Structure 1
Amino acid sequence: MVLMVFPFTAAAQDTGLKSLDTSDAGREWMAVGRLDVNGAGFCTGALIAPNLVLTAAHCMFDKSTKQRYDPAQMEFLAGWRRGRASAYRNIRRAVVHPDYVYDGVVSTERVRNDVALLELEQPIRNTTVIPFETGSRPQKGEDVGVVSYAQDRAEAPSLQKVCSVMARQQGVLVMSCDVDFGSSGAPIFSFSQGRPQIVSVVSAKAEVQGDRVALGTTLEESLVLLRAELAAGHGFHQDPPPGVSRITVGGKRNETGAKFVRP
């Protein structure tokens, strides 16, 4: 299978998206939220622990300057719909995959490591916002679903529960899911265990024999690495206010680590 990777585009085909714009429709998905970035755009993220949000690594970088954003410029809006969120949290620290390099080029090699963990300033302990479990890599042909925000549905997420895994190659999942601007970082769910488990994160769109598909990273090994980075104190913290000196362990290393874009 030959992949032709390209940026997110405004065009999207009708693939059975269901809007989760009411409390009843979105109750099961409140831990999916909008990640607002620098007041200029947004990605999608999902809570996997009371204080941890999973998203795409490229969401951490400015596509124009290729510089990382200060975590203070980001806010996670859990369950955001119609102007309100179930919880609002600032970001304390962010870690990206150790092998992720941000250079603005979209490729399958970049997609494989396009994953990040964000540590919230305060945990979300809300009985309506329950963190998702993560699961093992889905098999080819397995049905999956995606919950995401996008440029034409920024005020409420949508669920597509009928896409499937078309291929697995070099650590990348190729899926028939409908994604667009804002879908970066959106959780891909498996339902094989009877409850939604996150098995991938949306990274980019691609083309396979003329059909547009979604690309995502596999999570099992990546999450182990990201949790180890957090435990070791690595990642980038909020920049200190003027006149305040702060030493961050691992900060220098991650100044040069990142990946590609398309939030």
Structure 2
Amino acid sequence: MILIFSQYPHTANADEARIRIVDSDQPPWTAVGRLNMAGHDRLSMCTGVLVGPKTVITAAHCLFDGRSGYPHPVNDLRFVTGVRRDQNAGVAEVDCALFLPGFTYARKPSVRDTRWDIAAVILKHPLPVLPVPVIRTSALARVGGETRLRAAGYRRSRKFLPTLDGDCRLLWTRDGIWITSCATESGASGGPVFVEDDGIWKLAAIMSARLNRAGSIAVPRGIWSDLVRSDACPGP
């Protein structure tokens, strides 16, 4: 999770009061998982969400070592979906990662930099779970300040059960990204932000960063639509 400093007001206690633990093995939770990055001396993690049998959408910065600035070796990456304590709905190794044009890793990104902070992780084999449906363009255009957002992720404080801020809002947009009141923390980067459409929770945005005392940044689907259609790594 990236922390971007800001002077905007924030009510941390109100945020925490909305957070609840989700202990469910039903959709969409089977498609929300942990992207684990193993190194020789550590194990770090982010959240990712399955949008196709082999395609996981997450935050691009999660795929980089925050100390060295270099990408994590693909062989060190594992996606574990539907994590519930010592159980899960499936595990897969990673074949490759695809980034948006214009993305460059930065240890201290600006708010504008987060616009490109999305990646598609292509798995080596399909996982036997139902992918999360992605919101339609027409429905995304109707999201406003009164729309109820639901932000989920595996937070550092709750690594083995997903947590949900089930009632947050879009505060405003900037450079095409969403500034939201959704609570988040380290580990929840790459997690889904859901919007209800036709009575179904659909993926509308991906959590990117926490704003100091000002909520969070999420990147809406319109920016990364092409990545959803990716289901294979580029050829040689």
Query: What interval of TM-score do these two structures reach, taking the shorter chain for normalisation?
Result: 0.7 to 0.9
Listed as ranges, the gaps of 5+ residues in structure 1 are 234-247, 250-263
Matches within 5 A, 1:151-190: 151-190=156-195
- How large is the RMSD of aligned CA atoms in angstroms? 2.2
TM-score (structure 2 length as normaliser):
0.85
In the TM superposition, what is the alpha-carbon distance from 1:227 to its structure 2 partner?
Answer: 5.5
Q: Which amino acid aligns with 1:202?
A: M
What residue in structure 1 maps to residue 152 of structure 2? 147
Aligned partners of 1:30, 1:228: CA distance in 2, in Å? 20
What residue in structure 1 maps to residue 98 of structure 2? 95
**Residues 19-68 of structure 1: CA distance to partner in whole angstroms, max 9, x if unpaired?**
11344xx5541100011112521000000001100000001100111001
Q: Which amino acid aligns with 2:202?
A: Q
What residue in structure 2 maps to residue 132 of structure 1? 132
**Residues 157-194 of structure 1: CA distance to partner in whole angstroms, max 9, x if unpaired?**
01221011111121110111110010100010011331
What residue in structure 2 maps to residue 243 of structure 1? none
Aligned partners of 2:33, 2:107: CA distance in 1, in Å? 25
Q: Which amino acid aligns with 2:60?
A: A
Specify whether residues 51 and 232 from structure 1 end up closer, same or farther in structure 2 by C-alpha distance, changes over 3 A only: closer
> What is the SS of the residue equivalent to 1:201?
strand
In the TM superposition, what is the alpha-carbon distance from 1:123 to its structure 2 partner?
Answer: 0.6
Q: Which amino acid aligns with 1:6?
A: F
Aligned partners of 1:44, 1:228: CA distance in 2, in Å? 20
Q: Which has the larger radius of gyration?
A: 1
In the TM superposition, what is the alpha-carbon distance from 1:232 to its structure 2 partner?
Answer: 7.8
In the TM superposition, what is the alpha-carbon distance from 1:229 to its structure 2 partner?
Answer: 7.1
Aligned partners of 2:131, 2:34: CA distance in 1, in Å? 15
Number of residue-to-residue matches in the alignment = 220
What residue in structure 1 maps to residue 19 of structure 2? 17
> What is the SS of the residue equivalent to 1:198?
strand
Q: Which amino acid aligns with 2:194?
A: F
Specify whether residues 17 and 232 from structure 1 end up closer, same or farther in structure 2 by C-alpha distance, changes over 3 A only: closer
For the pair 1:81 / 2:84, whether they are aligned, the reply is yes
Identity %: 25
Q: Which amino acid aligns with 1:78?
A: T
TM-score (structure 1 length as normaliser):
0.77
Listed as ranges, the gaps of 5+ residues in structure 2 are 7-11
Aligned partners of 1:106, 1:199: CA distance in 2, in Å? 23
8 Å CA contact 2:120–2:230 kept in 1: the answer is no
8 Å CA contact 1:91–1:118 kept in 2: the answer is yes
What residue in structure 2 maps to residue 223 of structure 1? 225
8 Å CA contact 1:15–1:178 kept in 2: the answer is no
Specify whether residues 228 and 28 from structure 1 end up closer, same or farther in structure 2 by C-alpha distance, changes over 3 A only: closer
Aligned partners of 1:154, 1:212: CA distance in 2, in Å? 24
